[in-house]
Amino acid sequence: MSGLFERALQGDANAVREIHGAIRGIARASCHRGGPGGVHVEWEDVAQDAARRFFGVAIFRFRESGSEMGYLRAIVRTTMLQMIRSETRRVRRETGVYADVPTTSHNPGPAIDVRRVLSRLPDECAEILRRVFLEGVSYATLAAELNMLESSVRTRVSRCLRRARGITEGDV
């Protein structure tokens, strides 16, 4: 596999096919072993998402020649775990597992003018927070639109929320 990623970056169709094949094989083997807690995800979905991640961003981040298979395994493993987490959350929402969690009534504090806070944030932050919290766009969808890893979108959302918190705390 040595040099395979470099050849793929240079547009070698055979190298791209070989990488796709390796990702599919790793995903097939990983998913057939099953996920934690008995949660199962389809290996084809894992392979497709892992390939999208690899060719979208990860191929440009690879630095250590000779560890290509390990790098691909890590991408597939991370993709599979994120899909299992998403599936677990979806099942819990649909089955009402969260319905039994007691809610507490408390005073949330002063009302926050969301429009004003968003208008004071940098455009990129305001747009990301608007899409995620007001429009309900998933991190995975936003990551695909921005051609980023889902974990990178989560980090940006966290940083933007920190900035928004700073704006609201400065107003108190």
Residue 30, CA atoms < 13 Å, CB-side half-sphere:
27
**Whole-angstrom Cα distance, residue 72 to residue 57?**
13
Q: What's the pTM value of the predicted model, to 2 decimals?
A: 0.51
**Sequential pLDDT tens for the chain (172 residues):** 667 777 778 888 888 899 889 889 988 888 766 555 555 678 888 888 888 888 887 677 676 666 778 888 888 888 888 888 887 777 777 776 655 555 555 555 566 678 888 889 999 989 988 888 888 888 888 888 888 888 888 999 999 989 988 887 765 4
Eight-class DSSP state of 10: T
